[in-house]
Amino acid sequence: MGGPGETARGDRPWERRKRAISVNELVLAFFKHAEVWYQKDGKPTTQVNNIKRVIRQLRAGYGDQPVTAFGPLALKALRQTWVDGDLARKTCNDSTHIVKLIFRWGVEQELVPGTVAHTLREV
C-alpha cells in the first residue's frame, strides 16, 4: 500500500466512485454516527440537537452539491447566515466547528478527500 487511505490497489475509495458523494449523503452518514457517538447513559446529548440544526441548514444551502464543491467560501457564506440571523458569536463558532467536524469525519471514513477538510480548517 502506498499511503494513508490507499487500498491494496493503490487507489483511494473516493477516486473509484464515478462521482463524489453529495453533502446530503455525507450528513446522513454522519448523523447516523452522531446518534450513537453523542450519548450519555443511553440518551442523546444536547450535541445531537446542535448537529441536527447545523445539518438542516447545511442541507438547505448545499445538500445537492458534491462534497468536493464545498470549500471555505461556502463555509463562510453559511457562517454569515448565522451571523445575520443574530445568533450569538459562540453559537456561530460552534456551528462552524460542527461543519468542519462533519467533513473531517467524512475524511476519516474515506468518503471525502482530505483536501476538502484541510481547506475548511482555514476558516
For 81, the grid coordinates are 447566515
3-state secondary structure of 78: helix
pLDDT digits (tens, 9 = 90+) for 10-36: 556 545 555 789 999 999 999 999 999
Give the pLDDT confidence of 67-121 residue by residue, as tens digits: 999 999 999 999 999 999 999 999 999 999 999 999 999 999 999 999 999 999 9
Per-residue model confidence as pLDDT tens digits over 42-71:
898 999 999 999 999 999 999 999 999 999
In the predicted structure, residue 5 carries a pLDDT above the cut 60: no
C-alpha cell at 39: 450519548
Architecture of domain 21-120 in CATH? Answer: Orthogonal Bundle (1.10)
Q: Where are the domains of the chain?
A: 21-120
